[in-house]
Structure 1
Amino acid sequence: MKNVLFSVFALAINVSAYSQLSWSSQNSAFTAVSTGINPLAVVDNNTVWALGYDGSASGANFQTFSKTTNAGTTWTSGSINVGNANYLISDLTAVSGTTAWVTATPTAGGNGGGVWKTTNSGTTWTKQTTASFSSNASFANTVHFWDENNGVAMGDPTGTLFEIYTTTNGGTTWTKLTSASVAPATSGEYGYVHLKEVAGDNVWFGTSTGRIFKSANKGVTWTVVSTPLSDFGGLAESGKIAIKDANTAWILSDLGTVYSTTNGGTSWSTISTITQSSDITFVPGTTSTLIAVGNGTGSSISTNGGTSWTTIESSNSIVSVAALNASTIFGGGFNTSSTSGGAYKLLGSLAVNDVTNQRKNSFRIFPNPTKGEVNIKTDKKIKSTSVLDLSGKIVSRGDSGKVDLSSFTKGTYLLQVEFADGTTSTEKIIKN
């Protein structure tokens, strides 16, 4: 597409705790002042990648990323060298601290764009040539990987179909989809850079006609639905998408209007209007929590699926937001210098009654309150444990079923357990 569109630490006390939510500003490590972040790729509780763009009035073409592997305590920036400094880096996705992909394209579209991969933390990027994007009409917009093997890349139509590729081997080979798998585009319809949303195996993207193309099987087959918008990225109207599952999704328009669907986009309802309009995300692991952010208008939270909202703050310039779970939510803004600002992490507490009950896996901790050792009982394999104070600072790490708080001062802490299957659980601990 020819237009470039322009976390949160939480769980558990009560609804009144919203007043305690706040964004912690982090140094994104971008060298150019006013570098914006969009999109964010949150890999796990500690690892986040961010794609940089020129947020000043100069309109320069940036080929840069930043990354943290310690939950935002420090970020490290780097260059995305795709062999042509004039190519637009249109999207970024990652599956670890070392492995990520980007899509890039000539700014006017055409032959030469495609997908590039790094396996060395962004030091070098290698083009994956079988996602060819070789037509004169090609324009690579988005890419997403669910894991090290399964991914999808999407570009503007090169005829009657959006140019979509899938891979099951990390991009070593990509397969271009045909009309048997993809609903046709309308005349003049196109997509937008990094305008995609993913939940489970579901991936959705919006178009210039206000339609949403969606897949429920990691991009293998695609259907299309209409929305209340006429355009997802135009000057007259634009919007962002948040999805929970195959049926439940939301749209935030550039006017702050929030729409929702519970039937996969067959029908939409207008449910609220808010001040923010830059981005919206559903918080995985909750029943119906949404975070919305705005450029200079702050941020808001809803725990009832967007029907009502509570202001978190009203002044930050946050243009992108992404949530891994109820305890890992990041925002992207603009740095004010090479050593200040640009990235945000949300600190505080979400409503306990909206966090999905994950005790189906027999997860519990005891004793609680405790004077020292805490035991973790679960039927899942524990990958790591983290103890955090209520500011979001990690004060202890481990990887076993026991956590020792005997040396901690009295107070309230959060125990966050990451399991080998990628899920997490968080519990409040009281140290006596």
Structure 2
Amino acid sequence: MKMKTLFFGAVLAVAIPLKAQFTSGTVSLGTTGMTVKIETDPTFLTLTLTGASGSFMGIGAGTEGMALGADGFIYNSSASRDYTFQGVGVPPVPDASQDWTIISDVVVSSVRTVVARRTLAGGPGDVPVPNAAGILDIFYAKGSTLTLAQHTSNNRGYATLVMNPILAVGESGTMEKAFSIFPVPAKEVINFKNVEQIKSVTILDQSGKVVISDAAVLNGQLSIAHLQPGIYFVEVKDKSGNTSYQKMIKN
């Protein structure tokens, strides 16, 4: 089977003008009470992180968790924000080059909203992130205080962010309309709006393996009955050569 790389810093590139911007939208992170939003433009990556004002909040790159060498952003009581993980159970180490700039840090009703920015390339130890549509895998955790320390098992987890274009004034919204699928979650089939604009559909599982390849959409529907229950990602190519992505839940 074909495999597509699905991790923070190696997203699936599509035919979008270089001036474009992309966003994950705001994504809730499990039971931590945290949310994350990642946005990119041709120069910068902007991270918006919310959570309890009295807790440290960490976001890491990839699917391996706190593996040796993994890249991360951690808001905590120290001045450091840019970290490299040293392995599970080992305290992460601040990068010598602190490449994140805090744009804002606001607390309202015990909820902290942090907006941080770095270049797409970052610095030594950072995972570069292209300005493109695709899928970003992250892991996350929060602590009981702002001091960086061991977190509990229910205050951590993994998430997959889907980066989609932010349409500027004058850009067409056609692909956004075409790439609306329902129902969510789905069991037997998924339905597409404006099917006449769609050229082909590919479905990937969370590991990046292609489970349905370049399928044609017949009468606005695509059968997913043979897929195992779980989370998948739908890649749609339109007849103009554009590509977009959406998360799908299979019951």
Alignment TM class, shorter chain as reference: 0.3 to 0.5
- What TM-score comes out, normalization by structure 1 length? 0.25
Q: Which has the larger radius of gyration?
A: 1
TM-score by length of 2: 0.40
